[in-house]
Protein backbone atom coordinates (compact mmCIF):
# COMPACT_ATOMS: atom_id res chain seq x y z
CA UNK A 1 0.00 0.00 0.00
CA UNK A 2 1.41 3.35 -0.99
CA UNK A 3 1.94 5.86 1.73
CA UNK A 4 0.45 9.27 1.25
CA UNK A 5 2.81 12.00 2.38
CA UNK A 6 0.16 14.69 2.26
CA UNK A 7 2.04 16.62 -0.42
CA UNK A 8 -1.12 17.66 -2.21
CA UNK A 9 -2.70 18.81 1.02
CA UNK A 10 0.46 20.61 2.12
CA UNK A 11 0.60 22.44 -1.18
CA UNK A 12 -2.92 23.75 -0.64
CA UNK A 13 -2.44 24.53 3.03
CA UNK A 14 0.48 26.93 2.71
CA UNK A 15 -0.45 29.56 0.17
CA UNK A 16 1.31 32.30 2.09
CA UNK A 17 -1.68 34.64 2.29
CA UNK A 18 -1.11 37.43 4.75
CA UNK A 19 -4.73 37.82 5.82
CA UNK A 20 -7.32 35.10 6.10
CA UNK A 21 -10.75 35.16 4.62
CA UNK A 22 -13.64 35.90 6.91
CA UNK A 23 -15.97 33.27 8.23
CA UNK A 24 -19.66 33.01 7.44
CA UNK A 25 -20.38 34.31 10.94
CA UNK A 26 -18.17 37.36 10.38
CA UNK A 27 -19.78 38.16 7.02
CA UNK A 28 -23.27 37.69 8.46
CA UNK A 29 -22.55 40.03 11.37
CA UNK A 30 -21.07 42.62 9.02
CA UNK A 31 -24.02 42.32 6.65
CA UNK A 32 -26.57 42.71 9.46
CA UNK A 33 -24.71 45.69 10.91
CA UNK A 34 -24.63 47.29 7.45
CA UNK A 35 -28.38 46.78 7.05
CA UNK A 36 -29.12 48.28 10.49
CA UNK A 37 -26.76 51.22 9.89
CA UNK A 38 -28.58 51.89 6.62
CA UNK A 39 -32.13 51.53 7.95
CA UNK A 40 -31.64 53.79 11.01
CA UNK A 41 -30.84 57.03 9.13
CA UNK A 42 -33.33 56.16 6.40
CA UNK A 43 -36.18 55.82 8.89
CA UNK A 44 -35.11 58.93 10.81
CA UNK A 45 -35.10 61.07 7.66
CA UNK A 46 -38.22 59.60 6.03
CA UNK A 47 -40.31 59.87 9.20
CA UNK A 48 -38.91 63.24 10.28
CA UNK A 49 -37.93 61.97 13.73
CA UNK A 50 -34.96 64.36 13.87
CA UNK A 51 -34.33 67.62 12.09
CA UNK A 52 -31.47 70.03 11.58
CA UNK A 53 -28.17 69.48 13.35
CA UNK A 54 -29.23 66.37 15.23
CA UNK A 55 -30.27 64.66 11.98
CA UNK A 56 -26.95 65.59 10.37
CA UNK A 57 -24.99 64.28 13.38
CA UNK A 58 -26.90 61.00 13.20
CA UNK A 59 -26.30 60.69 9.45
CA UNK A 60 -22.59 61.41 9.77
CA UNK A 61 -22.25 59.11 12.78
CA UNK A 62 -23.94 56.18 11.07
CA UNK A 63 -21.89 56.82 7.92
CA UNK A 64 -18.67 56.63 9.95
CA UNK A 65 -19.85 53.44 11.65
CA UNK A 66 -20.82 51.99 8.27
CA UNK A 67 -17.33 52.80 6.98
CA UNK A 68 -15.77 51.05 9.99
CA UNK A 69 -17.98 47.98 9.51
CA UNK A 70 -16.97 47.76 5.86
CA UNK A 71 -13.27 47.99 6.73
CA UNK A 72 -13.35 45.51 9.60
CA UNK A 73 -15.78 42.87 8.38
CA UNK A 74 -15.37 42.94 4.59
CA UNK A 75 -11.95 44.46 3.86
CA UNK A 76 -10.33 42.50 6.75
CA UNK A 77 -8.28 45.48 7.88
CA UNK A 78 -7.90 44.07 11.40
CA UNK A 79 -6.57 40.72 10.09
CA UNK A 80 -3.24 42.04 8.82
CA UNK A 81 -0.17 40.40 10.28
CA UNK A 82 2.56 42.49 8.71
CA UNK A 83 3.09 46.24 8.41
CA UNK A 84 -0.05 48.23 7.96
CA UNK A 85 0.59 49.38 4.40
CA UNK A 86 -3.09 49.02 3.55
CA UNK A 87 -4.01 51.23 6.50
CA UNK A 88 -1.46 53.87 5.49
CA UNK A 89 -2.76 53.80 1.92
CA UNK A 90 -6.31 54.12 3.19
CA UNK A 91 -5.43 57.10 5.38
CA UNK A 92 -3.59 58.77 2.50
CA UNK A 93 -6.60 58.22 0.24
CA UNK A 94 -8.93 59.66 2.88
CA UNK A 95 -6.74 62.76 3.23
CA UNK A 96 -6.90 63.29 -0.53
CA UNK A 97 -10.67 62.76 -0.68
CA UNK A 98 -11.33 65.03 2.30
CA UNK A 99 -9.08 67.72 0.79
CA UNK A 100 -10.88 67.55 -2.56
CA UNK A 101 -14.36 67.57 -1.00
CA UNK A 102 -13.54 70.35 1.49
CA UNK A 103 -11.87 72.41 -1.23
CA UNK A 104 -14.83 71.93 -3.57
CA UNK A 105 -17.31 72.94 -0.88
CA UNK A 106 -15.19 75.96 0.03
CA UNK A 107 -14.99 77.06 -3.63
CA UNK A 108 -18.74 76.58 -4.15
CA UNK A 109 -19.67 78.55 -1.03
CA UNK A 110 -17.24 81.39 -1.75
CA UNK A 111 -17.83 81.63 -5.51
CA UNK A 112 -19.93 84.75 -5.55
CA UNK A 113 -20.15 86.98 -8.55
CA UNK A 114 -19.62 90.62 -7.59
| 56-104: pLDDT as tens digits | 999 999 998 998 898 888 877 776 666 567 778 788 888 998 999 999 9
Give the pLDDT band of residue 14 (cuts 50, 70, 90): very low
Rounded CA gap, 76 and 24, in Å?
13
Query: What proportions of the chain, in percent to the nearest 5, are helix, strand and coil?
Result: 70, 0, 30
Which DSSP symbol is given to 79? Answer: G
Is residue 29 within 8 Å of 61, Cβ to Cβ?
no
Helix (H) / strand (E) containing 9: helix 7-13
Give the pLDDT band of residue 20 (cuts 50, 70, 90): low
| 75-84: pLDDT as tens digits | 777 766 665 6
Q: What is the mean pLDDT of the chain?
A: 80
Side-chain half-sphere CA neighbours of 48 within 13 A: 0
Amino acid sequence: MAQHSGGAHDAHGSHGHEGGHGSLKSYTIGFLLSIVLTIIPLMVVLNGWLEGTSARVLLIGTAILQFAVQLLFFMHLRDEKGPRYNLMTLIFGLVIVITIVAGSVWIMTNNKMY
